Amino acid sequence: MYKKLAICNKKMYICSQNNINMSQSAYTIRLDSDLKERFDALCEGFGMSATTAFNIFVRMVVRQRRIPFEIELSEKDESYERGRKAFLDIRRQAEAGRYPEMTLDEINEEIRLAREGR
C-alpha cells in the first residue's frame, strides 16, 4: 500500500491509498515542443512534475475564482493594432458594398483556390 500526500483545509496529511477517494480526470494540452521542454526543466528544478504544476495552477484558479496572474495586451503591440485596423477597414468596405455577396460554395471555392496557390 503506497502513501499519498493530501492537503485539506491547509493541513497536510499522509494517507494510505484506501483513505483517499478522489476521482481523477485528464486534460490534454498542446504546447510548442521547445516551450514544453523549457517548462519541464523548470518544473524539475522546482522539484515537481509538470502535472503537479498544472494541478497547483488549477487549484489556485478554483480557490481564487480568477486567473492568479494578470493577462494583458501591451499597448505597444503594433501587430494587434494593425490587424484590428485592417479588420475594421475590410468590414467598412463590405458594409459599403465594395465586396460582392457570395454563397457558401463560392467562399469555399475561393478558400480552396487560395490554398492551392501556396
Per domain, the residue ranges of the chain are 24-82
User: Whole-angstrom Cα distance, residue 7 to residue 80?
Assistant: 42
Q: Which CATH number applies to 24-82?
A: 1.10.1220
Q: pLDDT by residue (tens digit) across 53-109? A: 999 999 999 999 999 888 776 666 677 788 888 889 988 888 888 877 888 898 899
pTM tops 0.85: no
pLDDT recorded at residue 41: 93
CB burial of residue 39 (10 Å; 0-12, 13-18, 19+)? middle
3-class state of residue 6 by DSSP: strand
User: Whole-angstrom Cα distance, residue 5 to residue 48?
Assistant: 14
Asked whether 17 and 2 are in contact (CB, 8 A), the reply is yes
